[in-house]
Amino acid sequence: MHGEGSAVDEKQGMEWFERSAHAGNIDAQVMLAECHLKGIGCKADISAAVFWYEKAAAMSHPTAQFELAQLYSATAAHISSSSGSSAEDRAWMYARVSANPTRDLDAAVRHCTEAADAGHADAALFLQQQLDPLVRKAKAVN
């Protein structure tokens, strides 16, 4: 989206990602999902973001798997305790959670484990520090 020597055109960049994503380019699917998630070049749409992350995750894209794990595990408590996150980042995450009230820890763990197994270091850390405690807590409640 940031061409050298030209002005940034997020909408046009998003359109190119969309063309490539529809053609089956998994990196474009991940970028398109991010555009939808953050409202870059379009109105933010978490359902569209999840759709494109799921398509890329089905093709074993570790970043898509990790992003899905974060989305499926997101809770307000998790966001407010995110260390190192700016107030702006936390506000953005709250918007993600409120737009996606369905929480699926099983899917989160599955996607995060797949990403970690593929060598995604942030996924391995997230699995250990965030998901494992959530799963233990959920099991204790049941």
pLDDT digits (tens, 9 = 90+) for 83-140: 445 566 556 665 655 555 456 888 899 999 999 999 999 999 999 998 888 788 878 8
- The pLDDT of residue 58: 96
Sequence letter at residue 74: A
Q: Taking each helix axis as running N to C, give the angle between helix 132-141 and helix 105-117, from 0 to 180 degrees, rounded to the nearest 10.
A: 150
pLDDT digits (tens, 9 = 90+) for 54-86: 999 999 999 999 999 988 887 544 554 444 455
- The pLDDT of residue 139: 80
- The pLDDT of residue 77: 46
How much helix, strand and coil, in percent to the nearest 5, is found in the chain? 75, 0, 25
Backbone angles phi, psi at 33, to 5 degrees: -60, -45
